[in-house]
């Protein structure tokens, strides 16, 4: 299973919609006090990912029960545990993968989401080249539906590895996936831009 598939897995519900084995793990969550705000926003990060994004107000980082190595955050903050996807009104994940271009990296994630079991693909709202963390990347905003209702999602990709491709023509790209439901109390759609626009490349990402 590729990292693209693992990133998208678990986004669409439980049981047959989980593309990898569900693991029962403890929740990693953090509060935000006055000292935290003074030091800057909390960041979603992971040991195998070359990027970080800001954690918006009302969101928190939790263990990805479908694939714990991929950093994940959800809203609201009382959504946690192994059912974190089912109770989330907003979810974001980050990952670093390989692909020939940023567009291919992003569209691979979108395709994995849109073709997951129980999903009905929606429409493409916008897509194309974009500047992300002062790098030339790619963004695609789209919609889809599952048994919980309609969702708005965006996937963004940017280069975070060496400029020269490997022998197979691939480079390292980091990807941000964000989706929001239309349930009462769900984050406003503007939060998608807030998350994607906050992306920063770690020193390890060249």
Q: What DSSP designation does 119 have?
A: -
Position 7 scores a pLDDT of: 61
Domain boundaries, the chain: 3-201
Position 80 scores a pLDDT of: 85
Helix (H) / strand (E) containing 121? strand 120-132
Homologous superfamily of 3-201: Mog1/PsbP, alpha/beta/alpha sandwich (3.40.1000.10)
Note down pLDDT in tens along the chain; length 206 residues: 555 555 654 443 332 222 222 212 222 222 233 344 456 789 999 999 999 999 999 999 999 888 899 999 999 999 988 888 889 999 999 999 999 999 999 999 999 999 999 999 999 999 999 999 999 999 999 999 998 899 999 999 999 989 899 999 999 999 999 999 999 999 999 999 999 999 999 975 44
For residue 18 the two structure tokens come to: 């989980």
Rounded to two decimals, the pTM is 0.81
Position 144 scores a pLDDT of: 97
Position 66 scores a pLDDT of: 83
Position 203 scores a pLDDT of: 72
Q: Are 46 and 94 within 8 A, CB to CB?
A: yes
Position 4 scores a pLDDT of: 55
DSSP sequence for 4-68 = HHHHHTTTT-SGGG-SS-------------HHHHHH---EE--TT-SEEEE--TT-EEE--SS-T
Q: Are 36 and 161 within 8 A, CB to CB?
A: no
CA-derived radius of gyration, the chain: 16
Residues 97, 107: Cα–Cα separation, whole Å: 13
């Amino acid at each position: 299973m590729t990292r693209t598939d693992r990133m998208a897995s678990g986004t669409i519900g439980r049981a047959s919609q989980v593309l990898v084995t569900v693991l029962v793990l403890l929740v990693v969550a953090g509060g935000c006090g006055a000292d935290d705000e003074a030091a800057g926003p909390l960041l979603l990060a992971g040991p195998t990912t070359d990027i970080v994004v800001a954690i918006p107000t009302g969101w928190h980082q939790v263990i990805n029960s479908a694939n714990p190595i991929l950093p994940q955050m959800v809203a609201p903050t009382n959504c946690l545990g192994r059912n974190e996807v089912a109770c989330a009104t907003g979810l974001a994940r980050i990952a670093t993968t390989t692909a020939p271009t940023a567009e291919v990296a992003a569209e691979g994630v979108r395709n994995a989401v849109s073709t997951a079991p129980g999903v009905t693909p929606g429409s493409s709202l916008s897509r194309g080249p974009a500047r992300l963390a002062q790098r030339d990347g790619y963004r695609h905003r789209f919609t889809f539906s599952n048994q919980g209702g309609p969702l708005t999602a965006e996937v963004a990709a940017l280069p975070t590895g060496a400029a020269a491709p490997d022998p197979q023509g691939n480079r390292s790209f980091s990807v941000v996936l964000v989706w929001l439901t239309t349930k009462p109390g769900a984050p406003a759609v503007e939060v998608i831009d807030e998350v994607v626009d906050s992306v920063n490349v770690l020193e390890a990402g060249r």
